[in-house]
Structure 1
Amino acid sequence: MTLYRTLTLFAAALLAVVGCGDDPHTGATRPPAIPAPPPQFWSAPADTPQQQAAVAQATRQIDVCALLPRDTLDDLDLGEIRDVTIGLDSCRAVLGDPAPAEAATLTWHSTLLPPLAPRIGANKQLGDVNILLVPDREPGARSCGATARFPSGAAFYLGLSIPNRDSCAVADSLLPGMIDRWRQSPAQGTSPDTVTTVLLGADPCAVRAKLDGTADTDQLRLTQCLFHFRDETATVAYDYRVTDQVRARATEEKIDNRTVFRTTSLYDSRIPIYSAVVGPELPAASTAFVPRVPAVEVTSATDDVARQVMSQVLTLFPQ
């Protein structure tokens, strides 16, 4: 079977998935379970919107923390693991000395990228995966950023800051294992550090099925969906946010008896932004610095469109 046919068949399978599962811990409805693609799926270029959407949704299903499990972090000989914290599509590990300036920090996240066009750093291939390593520009600096892009357009970024070590050399040693684990598509929840929420693996474009007359834009992202609706460009974003940030500068309103918070863009006060909390606060130790809540955000040019989109988004996360 050709790689193109593998990608096409998997895209069709994604569209056929129906039904949701319930999280026994929170009682929340989770996104549909999606089968893991075969390893060669990530090697097939995604040329059509359907294929690109399939790559995006398959990427959302990967437990990013599982790309660098704790036993791999232990093997780095950087000291005790101080904590591992999560974002919606990211993971962060702090190792070694408890003093912030002396600790080693690794942060990695999944993403979607066009072909890499490096202007700085070292570019190379690991099989069919394009790698870009960019060291800190300061002489003797301890930081490095590594990007790995698969032919499908799925990618991950690894940032390291390690005292008294060549961070790019450490990144170089970690990338082959991370790529191999990615190809196995570890499901959300594989890592014990990952916390199940209603947003984990959820497609921010799912709301389009509930709205008549939407149209594509040329921007495909993991945790945001931009689409045309009623002659406006609407943006739906999923994230884990600090509770106070959801309420900051906002007025409280009701949409279909659900609490939402309306504010406006810092760049243009005419643009409304609606936010809503859709799940319980994550455990205090699971997110960096302060606890966070699963939240959805809708932005459009007018309140009428933004409220209509938010009304349908909220139906995806029943109370």
Structure 2
Amino acid sequence: MLIRRAAIVAAAVIAALGLVGCQDQRQEPTRPPVSWTTAPISDDQHLAVLGAARAIDPCALVPRSTLESIGTVLTVEVDTPSSCAAELNSTEFGSKTRLNWSISVDRDPLASFEGAVESRIGDAVVFAERDGAEHAPDVLVHTCMGSARFPVTIGLFVQVSTPVADKPCAVLDSVLPGALDLLRAAPTMGTSPDTPESVVAGADPCAVLSRLGTTTPLAEQFVHGCVFDYQGSTIDLQYSYTGERIVAQGDPILVVNGHPGYDLRSITETYWYGAVLGPAIPSAGTVNSSLGPRVPVVKVMGRDPAVLREVLTRTAELFPAA
């Protein structure tokens, strides 16, 4: 099946990048290995980096053993195929500690932000906030964030929120070095018990282009998104996890391989179509009854509904029958 083949290709890409300690000796001359300390140059190298980033297990970057050194771990779960979140100590706003972290790929230089201090952790450039800012008396939560990126263009964003009396940047400082070490080790999907199996985890959002007979520039290809022109219409395609009832509240428009598709159009000139691609992923907490369980979804946006319907159909065909 195509998804299984994609997983095999992703594993080969990681080997080609030298992310698992060895190189694929059978790689083509046009696909040279790229190390974490080397910036990719060719389009093939950039595409290999994207494939490698998709194959990394996000929840494995901050394991429960690390979280337990911070507080009592209540939940750990994926937000998206490339991000994870954990709640500690309490479920109450103003009392809980929450960490969010996500994997990214960006060819542009890592940008600073207000309040950030630049540093280096190994080969990675880091911009992170520091504790010590004054807060208004009615503020209940203190937040600290940091971004890091290796020369290979794979990066990590971490945000920590704590009760205002605590020091979230101290938590960030305790987490970031180990998370970057693990990122460089490139743990594969399924390494963490908190990362569920999912048909979109590791999937290439631009894989449908070959079925449509079109291409798109490298700058329009992302970890879980793809922007391309097709039949005179610009299409934005995204893989995500979404509450099943949010998708199912749209008007049913098709079923492909058992995957239901819906018209999610808002009141604009732009149409949103979406399809459920697989079974619900487990929830670490209570499922919101109004949203339903989270399911792997493809969403496509554009201005021509006929074109969107075709793109949605061809994308759903890539995934195993429900």
2:308 and 2:178 map into 1 onto residues whose CA distance is 43
Report the alpha carbon displacement of residue 212 of structure 1 after superposing the two structures with TM: 1.1
Gaps of 5+ in 1: 1-17, 22-28
TM-score (normalised: structure 2): 0.82
Report the alpha carbon displacement of residue 66 of structure 1 after superposing the two structures with TM: 0.5
1:1-319 paired onto structure 2 within 5 Å:
20-21=3-4, 31-32=7-8, 34-35=11-12, 36-37=14-15, 38-39=18-19, 41-76=35-70, 78=71, 80-87=72-79, 88-113=81-106, 114-120=108-114, 121-134=116-129, 139-140=134-135, 142-163=142-163, 164-216=165-217, 218-248=219-249, 250-254=250-254, 259-266=260-267, 269-285=268-284, 291-319=293-321
1:183 and 1:240 map into 2 onto residues whose CA distance is 25
Instruction: Decide whether the 8 Å contact of 1:89 with 1:110 is kept in 2.
Output: yes
CA gap 1:197/1:286 in 2 versus in 1, 3 angstroms:
farther
1:318 and 1:186 map into 2 onto residues whose CA distance is 25
Instruction: Decide whether the 8 Å contact of 1:96 with 1:103 is kept in 2.
Output: yes
2:225 and 2:132 map into 1 onto residues whose CA distance is 31
Q: Secondary structure at the match of 1:295?
A: strand
1:285 and 1:212 map into 2 onto residues whose CA distance is 40
CA gap 1:256/1:178 in 2 versus in 1, 3 angstroms:
closer
Count of residue pairs brought into register by the alignment: 290
Instruction: Decide whether the 8 Å contact of 1:31 with 1:198 is kept in 2.
Output: no
1:220 and 1:150 map into 2 onto residues whose CA distance is 19
Post-superposition Cα deviations, 1:282-319, rounded to whole Å, max 9, x if no partner, equal 22336885620111111222112111211110111131
1:143 and 1:223 map into 2 onto residues whose CA distance is 26
Report the alpha carbon displacement of residue 262 of structure 1 after superposing the two structures with TM: 1.0
Amino acid at match of 2:129: V
CA gap 1:214/1:301 in 2 versus in 1, 3 angstroms:
farther
CA gap 1:303/1:58 in 2 versus in 1, 3 angstroms:
same
2:305 and 2:276 map into 1 onto residues whose CA distance is 19
Amino acid at match of 1:292: R
Report the alpha carbon displacement of residue 231 of structure 1 after superposing the two structures with TM: 2.4
Gaps of 5+ in 2: 20-33, 136-140
Report the alpha carbon displacement of residue 30 of structure 1 after superposing the two structures with TM: 7.2
Which segment is superposed worse, 213-222 or 290-299? Answer: 213-222
Moved over 4 A (4+): 135-138, 255-258, 286-290
Report the alpha carbon displacement of residue 44 of structure 1 after superposing the two structures with TM: 1.6
Which segment is superposed worse, 108-117 or 64-73? Answer: 108-117
Report the alpha carbon displacement of residue 132 of structure 1 after superposing the two structures with TM: 0.8
CA gap 1:20/1:219 in 2 versus in 1, 3 angstroms:
closer
Instruction: Decide whether the 8 Å contact of 1:108 with 1:157 is kept in 2.
Output: yes
Instruction: Decide whether the 8 Å contact of 2:189 with 2:195 is kept in 1.
Output: yes
